[in-house]
Structure 1
């Protein structure tokens, strides 16, 4: 089978220069897909001095569209005003597949709606977990149900995330694949792997590696996180004084920014811990490894997490991980690399005590973690699995191969499920899917789709496609062999 390539647009409010897991995921996935011969563009909002079009490594083109940011880098939802600009970009770049990321990204939801109206294939990747009871979650889930009613396929970063998304958006589980995050293990090497001097400007002078700690050597605990409530910063603030009281020969390095930073600073002042806790503030992603290798334990007290890429990065750097057993975190690393705690102050203090005791007794072989993580997580593998989704939704592989059912059951399958992978673009079929989203919501969703379609027809008349210049493509890379592609 020949290796077909696609023109793909990744759309999300969350992208570089803002640091974060979603941002890193989009960039790394895009880079590996370019290596496999695909054309990738990224559509996000403007970031301060980053406006218009930028080019990144491998010729990835980034469109920074001028929309107002309202909260945590998410743009103000406009529903329809993005459509003319979005249509222009899709036609200029000859896009075939639109891949949206993140449930709270307004640009993502709007792009998926407009893409279906334009007759483009769509994929959505969910990176987060949300509840069902509070007002914000109810509204988010209703919006997600609207968007995903007409998306060709959904990707989740963990099995827990898949269960959460299927319930929130009332999806057929067969339309949802689990493809985890990964790390570039070469960028997260332990100190002296291979032999190298400590990074200049490190937060603390490096003490012996975790597997060589003596009974009196100080232990450094690293925390790198956005300082928000859902990241468990309240638990961290309450736990640090108790951990330092129980284990005087320890110290903390905390990197990140957010509204909870003031709580940590007040805790440090009240307990006079300036010589034990250092807050580094916001850091770039390329600085994360230099901070991590100065420590021995990584503490991740999150209250909810779909995957937790940072704990994989920490393990790759040779740190012993203490984390809360919430969301998809228990799926990420094997038990010998982690100590799990409940999302409670007492449990975190106890888990940290176990981790420190294990390191003091040299019971944990952290020097082996890097090679083990390297074998478990690879962006090349993630790109191949994502490419298989693209091939499934475009019909380039058979339905039976994509969904894994026997051809002999094809008639029964079609009678009960229909063609989930390749959905009809016909307006009446789309309206049927949206109408089932609720007694009142279904009617509102149908109205939005009809208005979107009328705007599309107007744009086709007012600004014909033949008047839109086609952008020149960056030279595409060629795969050396299609053998791995066939096995993906």
Structure 2
């Protein structure tokens, strides 16, 4: 197949797990013999002078990165305007795609990843008259506990709804996301397929945990956002330290809630026990994962949780909430330890169990790594995705009215004190 992939992030421009997912999937599809072209963008805040559009082949994938246009939009201040401008530049780049020998290049199918590329994906699928397949990696309502009360929340939700309704097939990364998409955007949707995220375990080397040798270290890795539940881990830390004195927590990543989380460490009197490491890169993350007694993933909302796979590959014992896809990626008692989202007491109990019996925790970690090669390999994920892309047929289009959006107030950000 000739596959046109549209994504707002692709290496070297990576914002989060979506960029890593699209990269690995595209490489695996190309390795399987498909002609894969990725349409993406140049870095935020650049322009056609400092960062002109590029067209390169990397790892068997042709990557076309559109330069940002001159008008000044800032993602953090003008997200919707910035997104529309990005979409406009990507559409123009998509219309100019030619084969390497100068002949016309037309895709057989278009694969869009998330709402930020809805406008270019829908426009280019219509122009080329090919099926549109969309992978929904998360939803705005899900990130806010089902509530979309703010102006931006409603705008994002409406674009997600539009992309879902325009798609000829949909892919979600977990059964929970399948149900969420059906509930939020159904019922008149194309078929929804559940295909888990994958991992290349060769890039995440395994190392057994050390036993003893000092106070235990816990690790959180991911974005610093409310839905990730880092506030619950900070609230549980005093309880953990009462039974396991000297326990420290390293927080790797950045996000909009960093200042608030730092304040919480002071409120819970654990600021000296918590280190905010910021973005650490691939190698730095491996080092942290291999050195910790456990990685804790306390998400309140998690479509999948690819960091759980990465941690499992390195041998880090997993302590994770059952939110969304994490409940499918981590099996309590077999591949890790689980607790209910937002349950601070349950979180503390799960961490204590790991620290009390490191040998059992290591057995679960080994089980988790062994499972990766069976269920989450990229060749298998690519094969399943190719089946969806091949089977998608362009449906008859009908005019759509605007969605009816239920508005409720956003949840407050109080956290339980120990």
Which category describes the TM-score, using the shorter chain as reference length? 0.7 to 0.9
Measured against aligned partners, the alpha-carbon deviations of 1:113-166 in whole angstroms (never above 9, x if no partner) come to: 332243122110011144343225544333223223232111110111011111
* Residue equivalent to 2:336: 338
User: Larger radius of gyration, structure 1 or 2?
Assistant: 1
Which residue of structure 2 lines up, in the alignment, with residue 165 of structure 1?
181
Contact 1:9 1:41 in 2 (8 A): yes
Find the aligned partners of 1:374 and 1:79 in 2 and give their Cα distance.
37
Indicate which of 200, 218, 231 corresponds to 1:184: 200
CA distance in structure 1 between the aligned counterparts of 2:55 and 2:95, rounded to whole angstroms: 19
Deviation at 1:323, TM superposition (A): 1.4
User: Could you tell me which residue of structure 2 aligns to residue 28 of structure 1?
Assistant: 24
**TM-score, length basis structure 2:** 0.81
User: For residues 14 and 194 of structure 2, what CA distance do their matches in structure 1 show?
Assistant: 25
C-alpha change, 1:289 and 1:146, in structure 2 (3 Å) is same
Quote the offset at 1:50 in angstroms.
5.0
Instruction: Out of 299-308 and 230-239, give the one that drifted further.
Output: 230-239
User: Are 1:323 and 2:320 matched, yes or no?
Assistant: yes
Tell me, which stretches of 5 or more residues in structure 2 are unaligned?
406-418
Aligned ranges 1:190-269 → 2 under 5 Å: 190-191=206-207, 209=209, 213-214=211-212, 217-267=214-264
Contact persistence 2:238–2:268 (CA under 8 A): yes
> Separation in 2 of the partners of 1:170 and 1:21?
26
Distance (whole Å) between structure 2 residues aligned to residue 227 and residue 320 of structure 1 = 21
Per the alignment, in what secondary structure is the counterpart of residue 291 of structure 2? coil
Which residue of 2 is the match for residue 52 of structure 1?
53
Output the TM-score relative to the length of structure 1.
Answer: 0.70
Equivalent in the alignment of 2:410: none
Contact 2:118/2:159 (8 A) holds in 1:
no
SS in 1 for 2:60: helix
1:381-426 Cα offsets, whole Å, 9 max, x none, are: 0101111112112xxxxxxxxxxxxxxxxxxxxxxxxxxx4424xx
Counterparts of 1:241 and 1:50, CA distance in 2: 47
Residues 178 and 294 of structure 1, relative CA distance in 2, 3 Å threshold: same
- Give me the whole-angstrom Cα distance separating, in 1, the residues matched to 2:252 and 2:292: 12
Contact 1:156 1:177 in 2 (8 A): yes
Instruction: Sort the Cα spacing of 1:143 and 1:244 in 2 relative to 1 into closer, same or farther, 3 A.
Output: same
Q: Which residue of 2 aligns with 1:112?
A: 122
Q: What's the counterpart of residue 97 of structure 2?
A: 89
Counterpart among 377, 390, 400 of residue 435 in structure 1: 400
Does the aligned pair in 2 maintain the 1:7–1:95 contact within 8 Å? yes
What residue ranges of structure 1 are gaps of 5+ in the alignment?
A: 1-5, 193-208, 394-420, 425-429, 441-488
Aligned to 1:63: 65
CA shift, 1:185, in A, is 1.1
Work out the CA distance in 2 between the residues paired with 1:217 and 1:27.
Answer: 39
Shift of 1:354: 2.4
How many corresponding residue pairs? 380
Secondary structure, counterpart of 2:170 in structure 1 = strand
Separation in structure 2 between the aligned mates of residue 355 and residue 439 of structure 1, nearest angstrom: 46
In 1, the alpha carbon distance for the partners of 2:268 and 2:193 equals: 47
1:76 paired to 2:83: yes
Match in the other structure for 2:8? 13
Moved more, 263-272 or 157-166: 263-272
Q: Do 1:182 and 1:377's aligned partners in 2 also have CA atoms closer than 8 Å?
A: yes
Q: Distance in 2 between matches of 1:10 and 1:262?
A: 36
The aligned residue for residue 160 of structure 2 is: 144
Is the 2:319–2:336 Cα contact (8 Å) retained in structure 1? yes
Q: Which runs of 4+ in 1 moved over 6 A?
A: 360-363
Distance change >3 Å, CA 184–CA 50, structure 1 → 2: farther
User: What's the secondary structure of 2:166's corresponding residue?
Assistant: coil
CA shift in 2, pair 1:367/1:327, >3 Å: closer
Shift in alpha-carbon separation, 1:318–1:439, aligned structure 2, 3 A: closer
Deviation at 1:87?
A: 1.8
Shift of 1:269: 5.8
Q: Secondary structure at the match of 1:123?
A: strand
Aligned to 1:134: 148
Q: What does 1:330-479 align with in structure 2 at a 5 Å threshold?
A: 330-335=327-332, 336-342=334-340, 343-359=342-358, 364-393=363-392, 421-424=393-396, 430=397, 433-435=398-400
Contact 1:233 1:260 in 2 (8 A): no
